[in-house]
Structure 1
Amino acid sequence: MTETLNVPELRDLLTGADHVDIKTAEADLTLDEFLAGMVGGDQGPLLRLLFRARGVLARALRLQHQNIPFESKVRPDEISYTPGTKIWIFTVVDGEPDRFLLMEAADTHLSGCLAVTVEPGRTARHRFQVATIVAYRHWTGPLYFNLIRPFHHLVVAAMVRRAARYTP
């Protein structure tokens, strides 16, 4: 990994992680608007197909499988930084408005954190980092994640692109 998170409080998450991926984007948005763009609205047919395939894989590996809401009506003013709050399929772990939000989707086989940070730009455009941080909890974790890894990159990249195009 050549890039690191721009929020020092989150750097410790990288220690001991089994997988880290950071994607960046620039946009003329607040952190709340960027987050609403990532998790709000219709997730689209590709994501629906990939999550259905994930369901089949999860059942085959006897993992927990939750129903994914494909149409999330999250608005910027509904983004919460309170630990324990649900945002789409994630649970808020930590956050600070206008700086970062750390969310987690945990299962018996792995823990997946999504950290979204913002760094003010010199103009109205801000630099956003979206980090996926995975820690395996069971032998099925690496098996599962290595099977979905190529698709995971596509899904997160698409969510970041969609967020950067969000219109408040």
Structure 2
Amino acid sequence: MKTNITKVNIPTTSVLLNNNTIYDYSDSYQTYYLDKNSNISSTQIGKAFFASAPKWSEKLFELRNRIVSIFGLKISEKNKDRQQQLENFTYEPGSSLGLFNVYSKTENEVILGEDDKHLNFRISLLKENAQTQNKKLTITTVVKYNNWFGKLYFLPVKPFHKLIVPKMLKGVVNSLNNENTELSN
């Protein structure tokens, strides 16, 4: 199954729209994944999300951490055993992995993000249950600037963000499709 990624509006079913916040930036990317038995959970989607970052994006994140530490912004600690951290991460509200805190989790959506002095961001991983085996998956990112530095910070980040998120969504779907194929064999 070919993975077609489409840019869409924030889904109306997303928790992100429940708080009436006006975001300074938002984007949503959507595609479909195979769920033959309708048993893929929001936790499984979260695990696939963290495992799907392109290798080159990890280098960019390391560079980001070196630069922003000078300004006193939050950075994630160097992962000695990332696989172990991924396996132990609960994806429950209050838990965290690197810079990503879990703010909300429902049967269909996980909200990740961080609040820092320059900006706050949230990422929604939303699955929409359809009556077919092909389910819709949307990754939405929203950003709220806390000051002028947040706006300045996000300026060079935005182009990379627009490259990374669709690649991650494709990686999530490939992971879910592979997992689903293995379960049905």
TM-score bracket relative to the smaller structure = 0.7 to 0.9
TM-score between both structures, scaled by the size of structure 2: 0.75
CA distance in 2: counterparts of 1:55 and 1:80, whole angstroms: 23
Q: Does structure 2 conserve the Cα–Cα contact (< 8 Å) formed by 1:119 and 1:126?
A: yes
| 2:124 corresponds to 1:115 | yes
Higher Cα Rg: structure 1 or 2?
Answer: 2
Which consecutive unaligned segments of at least 5 residues does structure 2 have? 1-6, 180-185
Q: Does structure 1 conserve the Cα–Cα contact (< 8 Å) formed by 2:76 and 2:98?
A: no
Q: 1:63 to 1:134 in 2, by over 3 A?
A: same
Q: Which residue in 1 is equivalent to 2:76?
A: 66
Q: How many residues align?
A: 164
Q: What's the CA shift for 1:149?
A: 0.4
Q: Which residue in 2 is equivalent to 1:24?
A: 30
Q: What's the CA shift for 1:52?
A: 2.4
Q: Which residue in 1 is equivalent to 2:133?
A: 124
CA RMSD in angstroms, aligned pairs only: 2.6
Which consecutive unaligned segments of at least 5 residues does structure 1 have? none
Q: What's the CA shift for 1:157?
A: 1.4
TM-score between both structures, scaled by the size of structure 1: 0.82
Give runs of aligned pairs for residues 1-168 of structure 1, distance below 5 A.
3-7=9-13, 9-13=15-19, 15-29=21-35, 30=40, 31-40=42-51, 43-59=53-69, 61-67=71-77, 69=79, 71-73=82-84, 74=86, 79-81=90-92, 83-97=93-107, 99-166=108-175, 167-168=178-179
Q: 1:10 to 1:62 in 2, by over 3 A?
A: closer
The percentage of counterpart residues that share the same residue type is 19
CA distance in 2: counterparts of 1:124 and 1:101, whole angstroms: 21
